[in-house]
Amino acid sequence: MDAMDGAIGTEVRFAKTIAESDIYLFAGITGDFASNHVNEEAMKRSAYGRRIAHGVLLIGFMSTASTLLIAKGAVAIADSTPVSLGYDRVRFLAPVFIGDTIEVAYRVAEVDPEKSRTRSKIEVRNQRGELVAVAEHIMKWVKNPERGALAAE
């Protein structure tokens, strides 16, 4: 396997304002129509006072940030395909409301050339700088088959 290039501390950021359509499109894709997300009247009576975004939607934005890191070429192994092995230590620390602007900061914390993996720290903050979610992401660079190997099979 070729040497793994990567800089610990490399960071990418992704920001987005959460729209009502984001909530409904995500609910439609996943089937998660919980009142927390789609019932404004029920949520008016809750401790939150209004609808909140799906936590898993935030993980989707974390994934967007990992894609930005790959596109940046900050970590790479020649002839390999990066794939997510998963997210660890995911915590939703505060609600994200429709109209909030979140920013995902995705930073490479570890590079393991022997296993062809990286571990990155993720922080999600709202427009007031409040930490609303955290996670760690493990990514692996899977060696591609030699050219012509698939054609020969």
Residue 125, both tokens: 């903050």
Mean pLDDT of 50-62: 97
Indicate the number of domains in the chain: 1
Residue 40 within any structural domain of the chain:
no
Residue 137 within any structural domain of the chain:
yes
Q: Tell whether the model's pLDDT for residue 77 goes beyond 70.
A: no
Residue 102 buriedness (CB in 10 A; 0-12 / 13-18 / 19+): buried
Q: What is the CATH number of the domain that holds 146?
A: 3.10.129.10
pTM here is 0.87
Residue 26 within any structural domain of the chain:
no
pLDDT tens digits, 3-39: 555 678 889 999 999 999 999 999 999 999 999 999 9
DSSP symbol at 52:
B
**N- to C-terminal Cα separation, the chain:** 22
Residue 107: alpha-carbon gap to chain centroid: 11
